[in-house]
Structure 1
């Protein structure tokens, strides 16, 4: 039966919401769907809070209304009954959709349920019925459903439900629908216009421009909508497109967006292959060097390393990048960038020198040979400071990075947390160690823990806690002598660091050794680190809360947080840290540090002036 055959109306003189979506699109003079989509005529039916069923009752009512009809062989009759039962229920349509998503039709009735879902989406006149059909198609949809679902996705209230269906059967269509939903009014982004119009040349041009402008949406969705892998195949010798693709890949690997998006990008491996294969066409420059060394870091120990690579292929890609960056013209780039940093500011210079120094420090670190199986490695990775100021302690077990494999809500903890404190050492007593924390904090989305214990001549990692998305991993065992040597090496290796980071580390260590420095002023240390907006500046946070324990407020007691920024003055880190600690000993830091937390009421209660512009 054809699509048109199944679209007879459910009742005379009614218009399906699918036909309404096609009509609205058909009358657009330029054929564009507006940002966010078209509004549903009349919106969702109102359901008063007084009449609305509570969640358990709503689930029972929707399930009872729908499940018996999934086995009805007469699809038209079943669709009519779904409308008759769902429309009067005091359940918001969005809730109907959530409930139906959890319903799994019996295998023997899957074909009937699929046909019912198609009838509801193509001829449905009530939002609850259409959303029920879309919910069923999330599990049962097939490629032939794409046109119908895309059309319904043009209606604002159905957009997210349509994206969920398309994600299973047509990722580019899903990405296009989501980007349209996110696009800022009044007009969609040029990239979205090009994708919608199917103009490959325009998509290429817009994609190249979009990677240097404000992003239209999540990088994975941009890559999917643009069909990035096919685009790279169509323009294999275009260095600008290779750069744009590399930027998108790296944006997908960031851990500051919870789960790295590259892990959900089905075409990630072909894009990595194309980018590495086209890297030799790039002109040797600081930007290109930073991109390629960041890509190597990712393939070596980041999210890209846990993709399902054929044996040895990831090492081959890293080796290709390593040989390219070792060539004379490329190898000279960091030195030229460092020299330019001292001649700026000016076009193409790096006035602060941080990026040039990062390139020099990183050097050949990503190109060390992959570890042999059953080995334990610690790799401290510093991100490109021109993109993000992040330092991660990446643990590799058998050459495979641990955190992106087990935890999807944030990146590995810092070396100051794991290495400077000796947390990774295997002592006589078992010790639980936090390896990673959710980007939003542990209290919100959790953290990854392991228990480290010594067992004879072996070190054992087990007792995993906070693992996401898979079964508990088995215990990991490592020769104790090799383990101790690797931990000691990592603790003593500061080649990845820079002066301001060393200053922050020394200040933090000094405050641990001399807690009375801040306690004398009723304060407690909150941390010393390099500032997010300037890796050359140390930022010391401390809390003022008078009480039985300095810096620790009692329940309901007032507290204030302060931040002291210490720019790098060019003197040795030891001298800068010593000067900072001496100042803390001699002067009340609340008199010069910036108030950055608490409330106006707390400030007044503690005798401080709240900033006129707020925080």
Structure 2
């Protein structure tokens, strides 16, 4: 059987224009020997892989035989990569490991053996390995390991391989131009690149910037305002918090790109879209992941000041036509800009030990409303848990979760975007210790790229008086909120104080806030089970959603009207079922919304 590398080269030669298909090629069949070994636990498999690779064998044939005999297969690639990442490789072992790696990737016939070679090259690879890594990266099952190895020696090629696999159809023309090294077409494709956040996630934004060598491209086209606007958009998306993780710290040219975009921002026409991009960059530089970059002293503050002065100029004022526009995205952004435009420039000059800032992100990008916790001026959550945004102020501030009471309490500060059950969350225990408040006993999952070596976070101590004052200030600061969000808060507050408004209808309060799809509406979620009000709930619940639009009157008046309606009319008559089960909905006589 020929090696996987030779097979990849053959597939690429046969591909139209030499471009691999989206999601890559499948491995040849059969890709590995029959699995006759007994199933092993995760820990036992790690031990088996270590037994096969530590110490490193002399030749690739031995690696194949050992992995095969121990039952290491394609599905164990992550374990193989983790074990290789932990091998001690120094002195002569580095040369030996590099030689073995090259033999494995060029002649290996199984996914497990080739993965071992790729993982070794992630540590020991050199530029001469790039062509082989690109070819093997075209197999969908080897792409991750190949990209990791390429990242160490050739970031633009790593980005291109990743985009070829994971980029959507809208990126294929750009990928094709990059694959053909057609610079003129690359620039043309960037001019028409869709920048909708639903298509342009943080990871994709970073990989595009890496693949096209964006700072160099900007230097070659200093007056190209479309390219400049795209660069700002990509930078803002990399720092975005709506995706699985923030990508900004992984982008090696981030400082250079910030310098270029902010330095030339005056060239951009003062549109709502450009204003939103620059404001997003300012929010990031003031309290987001951008703070964590390795800035020269005073440079970040200088760039933030440049943005503040620019956006304060009269030509950047948001006109009433935008605020009242019939175009939803234009209207949402204009209102957000008016409400948020001075907030990133109003932080105190001396940050103090603790600062809590509520930040409302670009509503068109569906960026979250997050409670940013700054320790000595640095945002805590993206620094120690890059897998999801900090929780909302409703969870951390309105419910008093950050207060230091007499009893120690564990608080969840952030959750992975995919939920805690999938990728974990960040927890801390808050307790009062005399005239100090202590954050300790941190809990977080192993982080990508670190695995079990994810360091334990030390306790953090605050002066109790200053801590209490800052938490009280943050809880009282509602200037970040907007009418529909305030409406949702007041409805929620009313239902907390008067649960009988719902119990009479056999309902209880669920999630109440503004939805990301339309932040000008309050969404009230209600759980319904017959008998709930009498204390004898029957069967599984149905979840109803009542959408309350902001009608422009004061939120207090709207909330009072909403609570009055809840007290007088059964919500089942005007709210809609959105969750539960179709069988349960039919049993209780409600239409199921997902039949069509």
Same topology, TM > 0.5: yes
Distance 1:430 1:376 in 2: 19
The aligned residue for residue 98 of structure 1 is 79
* Matches for 1:159-198 after TM superposition, within 5 Å: 159-183=143-167, 189-198=172-181
For the 8 Å contact 1:39–1:157, the answer to whether it is kept is yes
SS for the counterpart of 1:564 is strand
Distance 2:9 2:207 in 1: 24
For the 8 Å contact 1:376–1:478, the answer to whether it is kept is no
Q: Which runs of 4+ in 1 moved over 6 A?
A: 548-554
The aligned residue for residue 574 of structure 1 is 556
For the 8 Å contact 1:530–1:536, the answer to whether it is kept is yes
Q: Deviations over 1:566-585 (max 9, x none)?
A: 11122221111111111111
Q: Which of the residues 93, 98, 113 maps onto 1:109? A: 93
The aligned residue for residue 32 of structure 2 is 45
| 1:326 maps onto 2:312 in alignment | yes
For the 8 Å contact 2:439–2:461, the answer to whether it is kept is yes
Report how far residue 375 of structure 1 moved. Answer: 3.4
Q: Which of the residues 368, 382, 394 maps onto 2:372? A: 394
The aligned residue for residue 206 of structure 2 is 220
Q: Deviations over 1:82-122 (max 9, x none)?
A: 44555676542342673364142553422112101111222
Distance 1:352 1:287 in 2: 8
Distance 1:392 1:367 in 2: 17
SS for the counterpart of 2:401 is coil
Report how far residue 458 of structure 1 moved. Answer: 4.5
| 1:471 maps onto 2:456 in alignment | yes
Distance 1:25 1:176 in 2: 15
For the 8 Å contact 1:521–1:588, the answer to whether it is kept is yes
Report how far residue 39 of structure 1 moved. Answer: 4.1
For the 8 Å contact 2:33–2:68, the answer to whether it is kept is no
Report how far residue 463 of structure 1 moved. Answer: 4.1
SS for the counterpart of 1:525 is strand
Gaps of at least 5 residues in structure 1 are 1-13, 73-77
User: For the aligned residues, what is the CA RMSD?
Assistant: 3.0
* Matches for 1:125-274 after TM superposition, within 5 Å: 125-183=109-167, 189-212=172-195, 214-215=199-200, 218-274=204-260
For the 8 Å contact 1:426–1:453, the answer to whether it is kept is yes
Report how far residue 64 of structure 1 moved. Answer: 4.5
Report how far residue 473 of structure 1 moved. Answer: 3.3
The aligned residue for residue 343 of structure 2 is 365
Report how far residue 552 of structure 1 moved. Answer: 9.7
Distance 1:80 1:429 in 2: 61
| 1:499 maps onto 2:483 in alignment | yes
For the 8 Å contact 1:53–1:91, the answer to whether it is kept is no
Q: Deviations over 1:428-466 (max 9, x none)?
A: 444443322332333443333334444555444444343
The aligned residue for residue 35 of structure 1 is 22
Distance 1:131 1:561 in 2: 46
| Aligned residues between the structures | 582
Q: Deviations over 1:207-253 (max 9, x none)?
A: 23224364497222222222223222322332211211111111112
* Matches for 1:401-420 after TM superposition, within 5 Å: 401-420=379-398
| TM-score, with structure 1 as normaliser | 0.86
For the 8 Å contact 1:262–1:304, the answer to whether it is kept is yes
The aligned residue for residue 451 of structure 2 is none
| TM-score, with structure 2 as normaliser | 0.89
Distance 2:45 2:410 in 1: 43
Distance 1:457 1:89 in 2: 58
Report how far residue 563 of structure 1 moved. Answer: 0.5
Distance 1:595 1:358 in 2: 30
Distance 1:459 1:60 in 2: 42
The aligned residue for residue 118 of structure 1 is 102
The aligned residue for residue 17 of structure 1 is 4
| 1:609 maps onto 2:596 in alignment | no
The aligned residue for residue 272 of structure 2 is 286
Distance 2:351 2:558 in 1: 43
For the 8 Å contact 1:502–1:573, the answer to whether it is kept is yes
Distance 1:516 1:93 in 2: 57
Q: Which of the residues 356, 371, 379 maps onto 1:378? A: 356
Report how far residue 301 of structure 1 moved. Answer: 0.7
Query: Compared with structure 1, are the counterparts of its residues 294 and 90 closer, same or farther at alpha carbon in structure 2 (3 Å cutoff)?
Result: closer
For the 8 Å contact 2:32–2:73, the answer to whether it is kept is yes
The aligned residue for residue 566 of structure 2 is 584
Distance 1:589 1:518 in 2: 9
- Bigger radius of gyration: 1
SS for the counterpart of 2:309 is helix
Gaps of at least 5 residues in structure 2 are 448-453
For the 8 Å contact 2:308–2:345, the answer to whether it is kept is yes
SS for the counterpart of 2:520 is strand
Distance 2:63 2:443 in 1: 44
Distance 1:160 1:387 in 2: 27
